[in-house]
Amino acid sequence: MGTTQTARRKKTQTPSFETVWAALQETDRLITKNAREAAQRQKEYDRQIKEAAKQQKETDRQMKEAAKQQKETAKEYDRQIKDINKRFGDFTNRFGEVVEHMIAPNLCDKFIELGHDFPRSSDNMRFKDRINDIYFEVDYFLENYKKAILVEVKTKLFIGDVKDHIKRLEKMRRYADLHDDNRTFFGAVAGVVISPHVKEYALKQGLFIVEPAGETFNITPPEGEPREW
């Protein structure tokens, strides 16, 4: 019985100072290690944040630079468009001068070769009938006492221009009927640039085609009889 009490006292003995001190040192080592690792992780996190901020700053700079370049490109594009429009306007004006000095004075003579004698020629003819709401303008109006021809002049002729001229001829017919003008009217379209399909379309509509040929110009009549209005 005495032996059993001695064994129990050994099992419940208080840990020695060395044991406690060793445990405290191990605990302190683990805390220090964890703190160092946490500090390293925080440092790495801070570095990543700074890097992300730097990249964002660079991205912002690039976006601002791109926006600036886009704005400059848009300005340059607008400048080029204005320059093109100006040149096109100058070209159109020069073409008007070509028509005035080369085509217009000889239109009547050219149509005589095709069997149509128009002794009178007028340019920029305006027709107005306020009562019947009829308004239109004709670039060149060739006429005699029996018939007349309306000539529309374009730098580049499109199918839409041909359709518009046909509407103009219809207005001419209506205007003439309302003003006791019983003459027959024909149509012609002139252009520096006329693509084959536009030319074919205009000819099928019964219109004459006027186009430059070297230093002069040619008139192509429609197949068969020209259309009358």
User: Which listed CATH number (3.40.50.300, 3.40.1350.10, 3.40.630.30, 3.30.565.10) goes with 103-220?
Assistant: 3.40.1350.10
Lowest mean pLDDT of 9-13, 30-34, 94-98, 133-137, name the range. Answer: 9-13
Model confidence at 151, pLDDT cuts 50, 70, 90, reads very high
What's the mean pLDDT in 120-141?
92
Task: Give the strand pairing for 147-157 and 134-143.
Answer: antiparallel
Taking the domains of the chain in order of start, what are their residue ranges? 103-220
Query: Which residue, among 202, 206, 203, 201, has the nearest Cα to 227 in the 3D structure?
Result: 206
Residue 21, class by beta-carbon neighbours within 10 Å (0-12 exposed, 13-18 middle, 19+ buried)? exposed
User: Is the pTM here over 0.75, yes or no?
Assistant: no
- φ, ψ for residue 152, nearest 5 deg: -105, 130
Q: The tokens of 129 are what?
A: 């009938």
Q: What is the pLDDT of residues 176-185, one digit of tens each?
A: 999 999 999 9
